[in-house]
Chain A
Amino acid sequence: MAIGLIHYLALAAALFLVGMAGVTIRRNSLIMLMSIEIMLCAVNIVFAAYSRVHGDLSGHVFVMMNFAVAAAEAAIGLAILVEIHRLRRTVNVDELKTLME
Chain B
Amino acid sequence: MDTHAVETALRWIVLVPLCGAAVNGLLVRRMPRRAAGLLGCGTVAVSFVLSVRLFMRLLDLAPAERVLEDTVATWVAMGRLTIDIGFVMDPLGAVMALVVTGVGLLIHIYSLGYMAHDEGFNRFFAYMNLFIFAMLTLVLGENLVMLFVGWEGVGLCSYLLISFWFGDEANAAAGKKAFIVNRVGDFGFLLGMLVIGVTLLPHLAPGEGLFSFQTLAEHAPLLAPAATLIGLLLFFGATGKSAQIPLYIWLPDAMAGPTPVSALIHAATMVTAGVYMIARLNFVYVLSPTAMLVVAIVGGATALFAATIALTQNDIKKVLAYSTVSQLGYMMLACGVGAFGVGIFHLMTHAFFKALLFLGSGSVIHAMSDEQDMRLMGGLRRKMPLTWPTFVVGTLALAGVFPFAGFFSKDEILWKAFSGGGVWLWLLGFLGAGLTAFYMMRLVSLTFLGRNRASEDVKHHIHESPATMTAPLVILAVLSLAGGWIGIPHFMGGSNHFEHWLEPVFHHEVVVAGDHGAHGTSHDIGHDAHGETATAGHAAHAPAGGHDHAAEEAMEWTLASASLAWALLGLLLGWWVYAKRASIAERWQSLAGGVPYRVLLNKYYVDEAYEASLIRPGHALSEKVLWKSVDVGLIDGLMVNGSALAVAILSSVLRLFQNGSLRFYVYVFSTGLFVFMLYFTLSA
Complex contact flag A–B (Cβ < 8 Å)? yes
Residue on B nearest A36 in the bound complex, by CB: B666
Instruction: Decide if B659 touches A99 in the complex (CB within 8 Å).
Output: yes
Q: How far is the CB of B593 from chain A (nearest CB, A)?
A: 83
Structural contact, B663 and A27, CB atoms closer than 8 A: yes
Cα–Cα, bound, A94→B658 (Å):
13
- The answer to whether B662 touches A93, judged by C-beta atoms less than 8 angstroms apart, is yes
- Contact: B661 with A93, CB < 8 Å? yes
Among the listed B655, B661, B667, B670, which residue makes an inter-chain contact with A94, where contact means beta carbons less than 8 Å apart? B661
CB within 8 Å of A: which of B161-210? none
> Is B660's CB under 8 angstroms from A24's CB?
no
| Minimal Cβ-Cβ distance residue in A for B661 | A97
Tell me, in angstroms, the Cα distance from A78 to B670 when the chains sit together. 23
Q: Say whether A43 faces chain B, with CB atoms less than 8 Å apart.
A: no
Number of A residues, CB within 8 Å of B: 14
Chain A stretch 81-101: residues in CB contact (< 8 A) with chain B: 93-94, 96-100
Chain A residues with CB under 8 A of B661: 93-94, 97
Among A20, A25, A32, A96, find the residue whose CB has the most chain B CB atoms closer than 10 A: A20
Residues of B within 8 A of A23 (CB): 663, 666-667
Q: Is the interface of B mostly helix, strand, loop or mixed?
A: helix
B660 touches A100 (CB 8 A): yes
Tell me which residues across on chain B come within 8 A of A93, comparing CB atoms.
661-663
Q: A100: which B residues are within 8 A, CB to CB? A: 655, 658-660
B621-667 residues with Cβ-Cβ distance < 8 A to A are 655, 658-664, 666-667
Q: What is the minimal beta-carbon distance from A73 to any residue of chain B, in angstroms?
A: 15
- Inside 8 A of B659's CB, which chain A residues have their CB? 97, 99-100
Q: How far, in Å, is B665 (CB) from chain A's closest CB?
A: 10
Cβ of B660 and Cβ of A98 under 8 Å apart? Answer: yes
Q: Do A20 and B658 form a contact, CB below 8 Å, given A25-B663, A27-B663, A93-B663?
A: no
Q: Which residues of B contact A25 (CB under 8 A)?
A: 663
Minimal Cβ-Cβ distance residue in B for A19: B670
The answer to whether A24 and B658 touch across the interface, beta carbons within 8 angstroms, is: no
Are the C-beta atoms of B663 and A20 separated by less than 8 Å? no
Please name the residue on chain B nearest to A97 by beta carbon: B660
Q: Mark B303-318, 1 if CB is under 8 A from A, else 0.
A: 0000000000000000
A23–B658 Cα distance when bound, in Å, is: 18
Contact across chains for A20 and B660 when beta carbons are under 8 A apart: no
| 5 other A-B residue contacts (CB within 8 Å) besides A24-B663, A98-B660 | A25-B663, A32-B662, A96-B662, A97-B660, A100-B658
Q: Tell me the A residues contacting B by CB distance below 8 Å.
A: 20, 23-27, 32, 93-94, 96-100
Give the 8 A-B residue pairs with the shortest CB-CB distance, closest first: A99-B660, A97-B660, A24-B667, A100-B659, A100-B660, A23-B666, A24-B663, A93-B662
